[in-house]
Amino acid sequence: MTPRVHAAFALAASAVVAAALAWGFYLVGSPMDRRQVRFDEQRLQDLQTIAREIRQMVVDSHGDKNELKEALPKTLAEAVERARGQQINSLDPDTGAPYEYTVKNDSTFEVCAQFARSRDWDSDVFWNHPAGRHCYTINVLDPPP
């Protein structure tokens, strides 16, 4: 084979490899995109754990009837200390900043996070969110699914 044939083959092989890489990034996203998706999934799991654990610590359930047995934690740090079940992660997995937590009334609190991407699922719609800062208002006597 001549050097010209070798060069043409190398060019064709390089083009096939580049196209395969581009197609792979198109299908699964770039490593940075995947990283953002993983961080958003962790943020959402953290907020769901916060909601679940706070409900468990303050609500006494009797059949269909729910009653407050304790006051809501005043701060997220207090909730972390009082958690009885799963450990509460109160820090953003990417930035290390604490999630926002605000008590609204005796049975309702708000928890917020900064999301990289939006979530718009047909199931579990309560936990959908836009990209950017988003807050969930949780009533422990009528919790989200």
What pLDDT does residue 23 have? 56
Residue 12 counted as domain residue: no
Res 17: pLDDT: 57
Confidence of residue 136 (pLDDT cuts 50, 70, 90): very high
Whether residue 93 lies inside any domain: the answer is: yes
Q: How many distinct structural domains can be found in the chain?
A: 1
Closest CA to 141 of 66, 79, 83, 73: 66
Instruction: Give yes or no for residue 24 having a pLDDT over 60.
Output: no
Q: Show the tokens assigned to 80.
A: 């972390």
Domain annotation covers residue 19: no
103-123 pLDDT tens trace:
999 999 999 999 999 999 998
- Asked if residue 13 belongs to a domain, the reply is no
Residue 30 has pLDDT above 90, yes or no: no
Q: pTM of the predicted model, to two decimals?
A: 0.79
Answer whether residue 41 is part of any domain.
Answer: yes
Closest CA to 56 of 83, 27, 76: 83
Q: What is the domain range of residue 52? A: 33-139
Q: What is the mean pLDDT of the chain?
A: 87
What pLDDT shows up at residue 21?
A: 54
Per-residue pLDDT, averaged over 59-85, amounts to 88
Q: Is residue 10 included in any domain, yes or no? A: no
Q: Is residue 68 part of a domain?
A: yes
pLDDT at 84: 76
Asked whether residue 23 is assigned to any structural domain, the reply reads no
